[in-house]
Amino acid sequence: MAKEKTIYVCTECGGTSAKWLGKCPSCGAWNTLIEQVAQPPAGASANNRFNTPFAALGGTADLAVLSEIEASDVDRTPTGIDELDRVLGGGIVPGGVTLIGGDPGIGKSTLLLQAVDALQRAGQNALYVSGEESGAQVALRSRRLGLDHSQVQVLPEIQLEKIIATLDAHRPAIAVIDSIQTVYSDQLTSAPGSVAQVRECAAHLTRFAKASGTAIVLVGHVTKEGALAGPRVLEHMVDTVLYFEGDTHSSFRLVRAIKNRFGAVNEIGVFAMTERGLKGVSNPSAIFLSQHPEPVPGSVVMVTLEGTRPMLVEIQALVDNGGPSPRRLSVGLDRDRLAMLLAVLHRHAGVACMDQDVFVNAVGGVRISEPAADLAVMLAITSSLRGKPMPKGFIAFGEVGLAGEVRPAPRGQERLKEAAKLGFSVAVVPKANAPKKGSKEIEGLTIHAVERIEEAMDVVRRLD
Ligand code: TYD
Ligand code: MG
């Protein structure tokens, strides 16, 4: 195939250069030029483009009035793996492009092989493009997963043009590209896995999906070093972005929808990695609790609401004498927010950790981004600092502001009900989340409503 001309485009200002330069000739930014296939505008050469009357640049296109466009509901095919369908918003959509990101070894290939096999058994033709493993390795995994007599077609290939030609010839209902970082196009001189290659290949595959109706799933590794060539650069191109979370040392894995043009975001699917692949966990509310027989200092359970399901997660803190520049570390929680909460604790509740190392951790490798974790984090830190455990059956949630105010969390009633269902008996929550006076109480749960962080500290002290 004849090579098309490539140019280098600046990611900052859009300026172009015929050859690669370290510094953009237009805006002067460093390391921003990325190789792209040059596409001259139809009907005009790049040079005279702006001297041409606008109508000559290309034909006009038809317009449609919004209210007259028929809004047909998207037609989805369930994969048959309930927890995956939940994050996809019901199933795969013809022509839809999904990106699944996650650390190496977390279970992306396993889940997708299970999903395409289930689809194939349901009569949808599935094609698995394996760029990382040979056909034999994929077969070995399918045996391990107990997928006997699987009819899924496997294509061990990494060259984009060949992959697209094969997809075009077979027109499967779903194709998995495992992984997008291994695919390369002949049109670019950059190495496979580089930003330029990953972007160009994903763009071609997306165009193919839209034109053919084949649903495409791109697998992307999150690279430890800033994820430069990782899935992040593709998020804007695709319809759905899913990320795998979880600690590879624990068996639980979460799949979270970050973006979904066909469904709700922030929905999560919960899986357990077993001997025979990933199994859905349909009732995950209690899996992120470590089982202490007796309460220990520095541990507070919170109720987080992930998508549509409340889950109980244990927050642990360890506060210990630090050196001249004490450390603040968090796993599964935002570090900047931790610094802010420590400042609020000091200023409004008189709890000083200036000369202490502070570590906080959300148990089980779960990541909590909602501010409703604030109250639990602050109580866990205080508990560790004082060496005093929380009472048995204690939970807390609520956002804490810079002025020390405790703000409500969305859907507080659901969170409280889930805690009561799992046998928790004492809750400290924002006032607006507590049941209103005169309304029905939540059985088995004593609720302390607070409006300020100082109040929350007082309540806890009185509970001792
Ligand atoms: P894999 O799907 O290869 O991860 P990724 O594609 O995200 O890199 O999963 C690899 C891990 O899962 C590996 O450590 C082995 C484990 N595993 C099981 O525990 N059970 C199984 O049935 C399979 C297939 C893998
Ligand atoms: Mg893999």
CA–CA separation, 290 vs 235, rounded Å? Answer: 34
Domain encompassing residue 439? 299-463
Structure confidence at residue 43 (pLDDT): 47
Residue 292 lies in a domain: no
Encode 30-45: b = buried (16+ Cβ within 10 Å), e = exposed.
eebbbbbbeeeeeeee
Q: What is the Rg, in whole angstroms, of the alpha carbon atoms belonging to the chain? A: 26
In the reported structure, the alpha carbon of residue 313 is separated from the centroid of ligand 1 by a whole-number distance in angstroms of: 25
pLDDT in tens, the chain (464 residues): 455 678 888 887 888 888 888 888 888 888 888 888 876 555 445 455 555 566 666 778 888 888 888 777 778 999 999 999 999 999 999 999 999 998 888 999 999 999 999 999 999 999 999 999 999 999 999 999 999 899 999 999 999 999 999 999 999 999 999 989 999 999 998 888 888 899 999 999 999 999 999 999 999 987 655 454 567 788 899 999 999 888 777 888 989 898 998 887 778 899 999 999 999 988 777 777 777 778 899 999 999 987 778 889 999 999 999 888 999 999 999 999 999 999 999 999 999 999 999 999 998 878 898 999 999 999 999 999 999 999 999 999 999 999 999 999 999 999 999 999 888 999 999 999 998 877 778 888 999 999 999 999 999 999 87
Structure confidence at residue 437 (pLDDT): 76
Same domain membership, residue 265 and residue 303: no
Please state whether beta strands 6-10 and 33-37 pair in parallel, antiparallel, or not at all (unpaired).
Answer: antiparallel
Q: Phi and psi (nearest 5°) for 350? A: 70, 20
Same domain membership, residue 228 and residue 102: yes
Residue of the nearest CA to atom 13 in ligand 1?
A: 105
Ligand 1 pocket test target in 99, 110, 180 with most atoms within 8 Å of CB: 110
Residue 200 lies in a domain: yes
Ligand nearest to the CA of 110: 1
Nearest atom of ligand 1 to the alpha carbon of 144? 22
Q: DSSP state, 231? A: G
Please state whether beta strands 97-102 and 240-245 pair in parallel, antiparallel, or not at all (unpaired).
Answer: parallel
- Look up residue 13 and give its two tokens: 């200002």
Q: What CATH number did the domain enclosing 350 receive?
A: 3.30.230.10
Ligand 1 pocket test target in 178, 273, 275 with most atoms within 8 Å of CB: 273
Structure confidence at residue 370 (pLDDT): 93
Same domain membership, residue 250 and residue 140: yes
In the reported structure, the alpha carbon of residue 102 is separated from the centroid of ligand 1 by a whole-number distance in angstroms of: 12
In the reported structure, the alpha carbon of residue 105 is separated from the centroid of ligand 1 by a whole-number distance in angstroms of: 6
In the reported structure, the alpha carbon of residue 101 is separated from the centroid of ligand 2 by a whole-number distance in angstroms of: 10
Nearest atom of ligand 1 to the alpha carbon of 102? 7
Structure confidence at residue 70 (pLDDT): 78
Same domain membership, residue 149 and residue 265: yes
Q: Which residue, among 452, 449, 407, 457, has the nearest Cα to 428 in the 3D structure?
A: 449
In the reported structure, the alpha carbon of residue 222 is separated from the centroid of ligand 2 by a whole-number distance in angstroms of: 12
Residue 54 lies in a domain: no
Residue of the nearest CA to atom 11 in ligand 1?
A: 105
Structure confidence at residue 57 (pLDDT): 66
In the reported structure, the alpha carbon of residue 104 is separated from the centroid of ligand 2 by a whole-number distance in angstroms of: 7
Same domain membership, residue 38 and residue 98: no
Residue 50 lies in a domain: no
Residue 209 lies in a domain: yes
Residue 290 lies in a domain: no
Domain count, the chain: 3
Same domain membership, residue 250 and residue 213: yes
Same domain membership, residue 263 and residue 315: no
Structure confidence at residue 44 (pLDDT): 45
Same domain membership, residue 258 and residue 321: no
Beta-bridge partner residues of 178: 130, 219
Cα 380 to chain centroid, rounded: 26
Same domain membership, residue 316 and residue 274: no
Same domain membership, residue 244 and residue 329: no
Residue of the nearest CA to atom 15 in ligand 1?
A: 105
- Location of structure tokens 């889930």: 418
Nearest atom of ligand 1 to the alpha carbon of 251? 19
CA–CA separation, 387 vs 393, rounded Å? Answer: 18
Q: Is 143 helix (H, G, I), strand (E, B) or coil?
A: helix
Residue 247 lies in a domain: yes
Ligand nearest to the CA of 108: 1
Same domain membership, residue 211 and residue 121: yes
- Give ligand 1 pocket residues (Cβ under 6 A): 102, 104-110, 141, 144-145, 273, 275-277
Same domain membership, residue 231 and residue 358: no
